[in-house]
Amino acid sequence: MEDSTGSNPQSLGFTEKLKSWLSWSWTYVCFIWFGMVLIMIYVLWSPLKLQETLTSASVFLNTLTPKFYVALTGTSSLISGLILIFEWWYFRKYGTSFIEQVSVSHLRPLLGGVESSPTTGLFSSVNGEADPRPSVSECKVWRNPLNLFRGAEYNRYTWVTGKEPLTYYDMNLSAQDHQTFFTGDTQQLRPEDAVMQKAWRERNPQARIRAAYQAIEINHECAAAYVLLAEEEATTITEAERLFKKALTIAGKDINLLVYIKRRLAMCARKLGRIKEAVKMMRDLMKEFPLLGMLNIHENLLEALLELQAYADVQAVLAKYDDISLPKSATICYTSALLKARAVSDKFSPEAASRRGLSTAEMNAVEAIHRAVEFNPHVPKYLLEMKSLILPPEHILKRGDSEAVAYAFFHLQHWKRAEGALNLLHCTWEGTFRIIPYPLEKGHLFYPYPGCTETADRELLPSFHEVSVYPKKELPFFILFTAGLCSFTAMLAMLTHQFPELMGVFAKAFFSTLFAPLGFFADKMESFMPSSFWHQLTQI
């Protein structure tokens, strides 16, 4: 055992040395290898009868008919076309080139490069608790503060369109949320809690609802079961509110349950038009549990205050939460921009501003818009209705397309209500990208835009939604190469079929020109080296 373990470091060290030597030789000595190959070809020209082989090959090629060349170029065009189609599909789905990915993953380590880290495992755990990987801390997945009700809203969308608005990954995160939030200490589970813990893990909605009724049969005061029924079985907001009120009366002193139920009751009141009541409930909840800021209840409050057009109260909330030490969100940044834009947008004119310049208030509004766009560049296209909206997911990725969808879904109406605000946004938002350094190695007002948002958003958003990508990726080299190769070989096939004799003359001229440097090199070698030297060398 000692011998075997002791030899491993030596073998590993030899492998690493071999790799480094190969990398060095590949980088710096390629031209030497090429020269040696040419010399070997010249030395073995007579012993291997390469001249006779080339002559017979040329005779064979001359006997081929033009149909052969048409078939050859046509087959090459077909194969390169198939490769092009696969590369394009792979790029559209995964955002990278398949050939490039394989080259980087398997060939680059052999040539001394650094292996690229896999993209799996980029997502954090529930409610923004990050995986133990600091390099992807910016790709936390957060609970959507304004997420819809499954039974009363998401399911109704499915009944009408036949499409599933939630991904399995998104629903699985919600199941983990509920398990963590409602079951607490797993070592002291009551029978009904054990049933509910399994209920949250069920993939089938009907199985979850049956498990909730089973928990109620065990204990009629199982508040978590009523929460599940309110979320998933209730087909209207009124019915969901009734079930949440039932759950609130039996929740006891469970803080997690109380906070969740009161928040959802406030959201029910907001959806049913009792906005002042909803605002009061949210304020009371924030006062009662001030340490639960990570639940982002203030974002619910901001949306409700905007619906009331209580802009002074909105500004007061922003003054408390739009702080440099607190994490930002699209709601914070874009609401701040909306308030500043609202103050000048009704009289804003691009033509007048270009003549006289921007006033101080207009400059503040434009800077606020630039700040918001830098934080999340996906939002403006939804607000300006350049992209179609979908139902927001239950979890979002800050600065990603999922957060943009969630923000625009609830706040588009508030931007429309402020006269001229969308016009000001339309005129100024693209100017942000002239301020942000490119490439995105550093940001302007925020940290550099993370590169992992596209992968996470594809997991959170349904497949029928076209994920917004920033910065826009250029087409990989291999897609352009295969497109050019496919077009070139198809053109050769067509020309050879139409003009066989002319293409034959062209091919001969091309290959004679191509091999002219090799003949020139051989003649020079003959003149420099004595013939007796080559004769003795070939005898060896």
Report angle CA 467, 470, 471 to the nearest 5 degrees.
145
C-alpha–C-alpha distance, residues 171 and 166, integer Å:
7
Q: Which pLDDT value is given to residue 443? A: 54
Q: Which pLDDT value is given to residue 121? A: 35
pLDDT averaged per 10 residues in sequence order, the chain, 540 residues: 44 61 59 69 61 64 66 76 77 68 60 42 37 47 92 92 92 88 69 88 90 93 93 94 94 88 95 95 91 83 95 93 78 93 84 79 90 91 92 93 94 93 87 64 63 84 88 62 74 76 74 71 65 55
Reference 409, options 345, 331, 293, 341; nearest CA is 331
Beta pairing class for 141-143 and 395-397: antiparallel
- CA distances for 419 relative to 65, 156, 333, angstroms: 74, 33, 19
Which residues have C-beta within 8 Å of that of residue 187, sequence separation ≥ 6? none
DSSP state of 382: H
**Residue 141 — φ and ψ, nearest 5°?**
-105, 125
Q: Which pLDDT value is given to residue 64? A: 60
Structural domain boundaries of the chain? Answer: 321-493
pTM for this structure?
0.67
Q: Which pLDDT value is given to residue 498? A: 76
Whether the link from the prior residue into 439 is cis, omega within 30° of 0, is: yes
